[in-house]
Structure 1
Amino acid sequence: MTQLKMTQEWDKVFAKSEKVEHEKVSFHNHFGLELAADVYKPKHAQGHLAAVAVCGPFGAVKEQSSGLYAQALAERGFLAIAFDPSFTGESSGQPRDVFSLDINTEDFQAAVDYLSNRPDVEANRIGIVGICGWGGIALNAAAADPRIKATVASTMYDMPRVGAWGYFDQGTADERYKAKEQIAALRTKEYTTGPTQRAGGCIPVDQLTGKEPDFVQQYSAYYKTKRGYHQRSVNSNGGWMLQAQTGWMNNNILAHPEDLRNAVLIVHGEKAHSRYMGEDTFKKLKGDNKQIIIVAGATHTDLYDQMDKIPFDRIAAFFNKYLK
């Protein structure tokens, strides 16, 4: 496997908790890609612990929201890891800054592989958390892998839905086909060089006009300011490779929602532009072990890092109930 070069000093966008032990690790997925991760463990913990793997938001790195979630869960008694997806952050994979629903679903399953083999983890007590676009990917992974006993999708996106139809389903099939034509031509052009043209990251705050949709401004306020900027984050910088964008256009998450038999908690903000995706996904789920929480007054990005809005105690209670 690839030997990763990982930053050892604390370079997160959030403060380090004194209640938690932290270490850098790596693990591989079944495509042979090595993934970089941070482990957060309750200080002085002994024996076998329930464990949670966290990833997202889509285009973020483990030093941002996923690390914050993992640390907060470790403060509540879980061994938690936050990892960088394949092709991003400190994880391996070429070309850089591309994505795949299949590979990213496998990334979560590989995290479960890793946790299942740790001597301090009880292998039948493993859950996952997906934030933003990784919420949908987490549900996809849980439907594929019964080892995932409980799944939290926080402020979730259904990325294939947005990729195919745009925000609020306002796109058309003709617009989608035109985008495919443009990207197909780009693939021909970039064949000899590899992907170079990017889709564009979040707008720098000083370039906002104020006429952008609220959620666009909220993304900039997180990814482009001291609050959430990170040098390895796709969204904080140039954005995804444009070639990759067709990867969502002919896919679906939860092709067989009836296979997701284990517990699910969907968490969304009352004012989140993405709320419709979480609520519509929740309607597809089967069984009495599925829950949804709507956080009063919260926007999409509030659930990235606002400690007074993210219902960590309720998330921990959900995991305590189903990881036993």
Structure 2
Amino acid sequence: MKRAVIVMALSFLLSGKAFAQNEQSNQNSKKMNTSKDHYTFKLSDQVTRTKLSFKNRYGISLSGDLYVPKNSDGKIFSALAISGPFGAVKEQSSGLYANQMAERGFIVLAFDPSFTGESGGEPRNVSSPDINTEDFSAAVDFLGLQKNIDRNKIGIIGICGFAGFALNATAVDKRIKAVATTSMYDMSRVMSKGYNDILTPEQRTQMLEQLSQQRWKDAETGTYAPSSNNLPEKLIGDEPQFVKEYFEYYKTSRGFHPRSINSNASWTATSPLSFMNMPILTYIKEIAPRPMLIIAGENAHSRYFSEDAFKAAAQPKELIIIPNAVHVDLYDQCDKIPFEKLTEFFKTNLK
């Protein structure tokens, strides 16, 4: 039973269409906004939002939204770059965070990672530990070229799977002066070892064999097959609680967006390959002496990722556990996301 739960969980990570066929039977009469211009939150009347694009070091054009406090003429700001969760788009959580932090006095860039959302890159719906780490540094490039931003006062926030990439980017890119994460996933760890590191060497070998054989199929067809759906067509009530929580965010009006992989598409079947032997947090100690803030929900299934990253990191560092919060609460529940703490952290350390 435990292995079945893990297989189900991994299939959600790798297949955004895992719940795609459940819509009508599981919406509880909630009407979703399927417009591609839709945002899952309301723009603050104290903030302006401008769509833009910039390129990463691999020449991929990234799409972002720049959030700027109103009445900012003549001022020089500290800035933040934000991305995540894994499989989400800038119109969801990262945009909500950007909106909130701009309201608090920062210029903030929320962006779609390479191969997803409105950003470029072919094939679509692929993730890479290297390129997605680079995406954060490319966002720093963009911010540091703006005349109203002090390039010595740039920090980043990573949500869910992009929290791990944010830590990896900060370790290698010394221009990043402070980093915060919420509901962190270490994607290379969960892909290669399963939840709570439960995959046996034999199971890992079997997974690699399947992924390798999938490469033959992709090469023969000239296309990249989507992840297979190992979940039932509709929720029957005995799924793991955190799977139900993901469903409630991505597949209902609360967080649905048509460009989000987790809402309306699927990762490619071979996406896990690049994570299987490339641990992204190997050099987490090299973030120091720059400060790190790690935030996780008390009841989050992913909490152990944050706690283990915190243990592995060097000072200065801080771990905050949000009482009674689950993983997806830190996507959009503004009464649980500690925005005042994030504001204090970045105002203190971006100076």
**Common fold by TM > 0.5:** yes
CA displacement at 1:220 relative to structure 2: 0.2
Instruction: Say if 1:38 and 1:202 are closer, same or farther in 2 by CA, change over 3 A.
Output: farther
User: Equivalent residue of 1:226, what SS?
Assistant: coil
Farther-moved stretch of structure 1 (11-20 vs 21-30): 11-20
CA contact (8 A) 1:200 1:240 kept: no
AA partner of residue 120 (structure 2): S
Other-structure match for 1:139 = 167
Structure 2 distance, partners of 1:263, 1:173, is 36
CA displacement at 1:166 relative to structure 2: 0.7
- Aligned pair partner of 2:244 in 217, 240, 243: 217
AA partner of residue 133 (structure 1): G
Farther-moved stretch of structure 1 (74-83 vs 39-48): 39-48
Other-structure match for 2:287 = 260
CA contact (8 A) 1:202 1:236 kept: no
Structure 2 distance, partners of 1:275, 1:114, is 32
Structure 1 distance, partners of 2:53, 2:231, is 29
Runs of at least 5 residues in structure 2 that lack an aligned partner in the other structure = 1-34
Other-structure match for 1:90 = 118
Other-structure match for 2:256 = 229
Farther-moved stretch of structure 1 (237-246 vs 211-220): 237-246
CA contact (8 A) 1:127 1:323 kept: yes
Q: Does 1:40 align with 2:67?
A: yes
Q: Does 1:20 align with 2:50?
A: no
Larger % of helix: which?
2
- For residues 85-144 of structure 1, the C-alpha deviation after alignment (integer angstroms, 9 at most, x for no partner) is 000000000000001000000000000000000111110000000000111110000000
Other-structure match for 1:68 = 96
- Aligned pair partner of 1:156 in 172, 184, 195: 184
- Aligned pair partner of 1:196 in 199, 219, 225: 225
Quote the sequence identity (%): 49
- Aligned pair partner of 1:179 in 207, 218, 227: 207
Farther-moved stretch of structure 1 (66-75 vs 232-241): 232-241
Kindly report which structure 2 residues correspond to 1:94-109, keeping only aligned pairs within 5 A, or say none: 94-109=122-137
CA displacement at 1:202 relative to structure 2: 8.6
User: Equivalent residue of 1:255, what SS?
Assistant: coil
CA displacement at 1:256 relative to structure 2: 1.8
Paired residue total: 314
CA displacement at 1:9 relative to structure 2: 8.6
Q: TM-score, normalised by structure 1?
A: 0.94
CA displacement at 1:257 relative to structure 2: 2.3
Q: Does 1:307 align with 2:338?
A: no
CA displacement at 1:201 relative to structure 2: 9.8
CA displacement at 1:258 relative to structure 2: 2.5
Structure 1 distance, partners of 2:151, 2:347, is 15
CA contact (8 A) 2:156 2:180 kept: yes
CA contact (8 A) 1:201 1:236 kept: no
CA displacement at 1:210 relative to structure 2: 1.2
Q: Does 1:294 align with 2:321?
A: yes
Farther-moved stretch of structure 1 (163-172 vs 24-33): 163-172
User: Equivalent residue of 2:264, what SS?
Assistant: coil
CA displacement at 1:259 relative to structure 2: 1.2
User: Equivalent residue of 1:235, what SS?
Assistant: helix
Instruction: Say if 1:203 and 1:36 are closer, same or farther in 2 by CA, change over 3 A.
Output: farther
Structure 2 distance, partners of 1:201, 1:125, is 45
Structure 1 distance, partners of 2:338, 2:232, is 29
Runs of at least 5 residues in structure 1 that lack an aligned partner in the other structure = 1-7
Instruction: Say if 1:143 and 1:154 are closer, same or farther in 2 by CA, change over 3 A.
Output: same
User: Equivalent residue of 2:277, what SS?
Assistant: coil
CA RMSD of aligned residues (A): 1.5
Give the number of the structure with larger relative contact order, counting CA–CA contacts within 8 Å between residues 6 or more apart.
Answer: 2
Structure 2 distance, partners of 1:202, 1:226, is 21
User: Equivalent residue of 1:242, what SS?
Assistant: coil
- Aligned pair partner of 1:113 in 134, 137, 141: 141
CA contact (8 A) 2:226 2:266 kept: no
- Aligned pair partner of 2:299 in 248, 251, 271: 271
Instruction: Say if 1:118 and 1:203 are closer, same or farther in 2 by CA, change over 3 A.
Output: farther
Instruction: Say if 1:64 and 1:202 are closer, same or farther in 2 by CA, change over 3 A.
Output: farther
CA displacement at 1:199 relative to structure 2: 4.4
CA displacement at 1:239 relative to structure 2: 2.2
Q: TM-score, normalised by structure 2?
A: 0.87
